[in-house]
Amino acid sequence: MAEGTIDLRGRDFLDLADFTPEELRGLLRLAAVLKEKQKAGERVQPLMGKTLGMIFEKSSTRTRVSFEVGMVQLGGHALFLSSRDTQLGRGEPIPDTARVLSRYVDGIMIRTFSHESVRELAEYATVPVINGLTDLHHPCQVLADAMTILEHKGRLEGVTVAYVGDGNNMANSWLVGAPLFGMNLRVATPPGYECDSGVVDRAKELAARAGTEISLVHDPREAVAGADVIYTDVWASMGQEAEREERLRAFAGFGVTVALAAQAAPDYLFMHCLPAHRGEEVAAEVIDGPHSVIFDEAENRLHAQKAILVATMAGRLA
């Protein structure tokens, strides 16, 4: 098998918990190889002639551009399908859409609201389905995050990540991802905005198996104390705009300020999946400061997702 290659042909990428630590490490190695080859100007096109159908029921800058550019760089082609461009928006059953698209494309990426819809799509599709984001999980982002931490820290094992903010899809994916990568995780949320209880139970099982630590608290200072990474996300995600004012009140004191960040390890990294609201979940001095790696993190969405595409649609680099 070629250097860095991991063969996941025909597998879906819906939730990090569907994979073993070895498989996830394999994806990180493949992502690093693909990034190195791109930086060196070496053309690697294992997806020549293949097409990715991209369904967007939630809009996105980074997800669309990174998947579309990734497919082009790998020799393939990507089709953008908004909710206006598919029969899903007109009530076609998900199984029918899955079966039809499987006759046309070699893989499907979907960014939507319901995680169950993605699971149903994967159940009936005969090509790999990649979760570009749901309200429950955002696995592509955490894979890119792990890649970024590894680049900057040189390790993942024993790294402590402090997640401060909403118990949303990012927090959920960090809960299952941290133990699979050998990291410790502390999540600080306001009361009433905790992570999904089912995800928490699964994460505790994974942490017990990995020998890592997970803690769920309501005090950001407790989460951040001595942490190697501080991570946050917007307080009102897409679809929650009507709750914005209520959430601003509930999340008072959960912004990552200079004073809060000072409680972390001296060489901490600041991370954010973007887009960010400076002055709300993070101070401008932090996100634009010397500890911030948000643009490396954003770039690595491209490389991590290229690894997913190659592993699930080709299984080899050449």
- Binding residues for L-ornithine, by number, are 169, 233, 237-238
> Which residue among the candidates 233, 247, 272, 291 is catalytic per the annotation?
233
| Active-site residue, selected from the candidate residues 64, 106, 273, 305 | 273
Known binding-site residues equal 60-63, 87, 111, 138-141, 169, 233, 237-238, 273-274, 301
Q: Which of 183, 179, 186 lies closest to 210, judged by CA?
A: 179
Catalytic residue among 186, 301, 303, 305: 301
In three-state secondary structure terms, 115 is: helix
Cα 201 to Cα 204: distance, rounded to the nearest angstrom:
5
How far from 55 is each of 69, 72, 130, 164, CA to CA, in Å? 16, 17, 10, 30
Whether 301 is a known active-site residue: answer yes
* Cα separations in angstroms, 145 against 140, 142, 197, 252, 275: 9, 5, 23, 26, 15
Q: Which of 25, 115, 138, 291 is catalytic?
A: 138
Query: CA 190, 196, 187 angle in degrees (round to 5)?
Result: 45
CA atoms within 13 A on the CB side of 70: 26
**Does the annotation count 273 as an active-site position?**
yes
Q: Does the annotation mark 196 as catalytic?
A: no
Rounded to the nearest 5°, which phi and psi values hold at 231? -130, 140
Which residues have a Cβ under 8 Å from the Cβ of 14 and sit 6 or more positions away? 115, 118, 119, 122, 129, 130, 131, 137, 139
CB-CB contact of 140 with 301 (8 Å): yes
Active site residue 138: yes
Angular region, 316: left φ>0, alpha ψ -120 to 50, beta rest: beta
At 62, which helix (H) or strand (E)?
helix 62-73
- Set 11, 15, 73, 141: catalytic member: 141
**CA–CA dist 286, 292 (Å, integer):** 7
Strands (E), 180-219: 184-188, 214-217
Q: Would residue 228 show up in a list of annotated catalytic residues for this protein?
A: no
Annotated catalytic residue, options 11, 25, 64, 111: 111
Print burial letters for 2-19: b (CB count within 10 Å at least 16), e (below 16). Answer: eebbbebeebbbbbbbeb
Looking at the annotation, which residues are catalytic? Answer: 111, 138, 141, 233, 273, 301
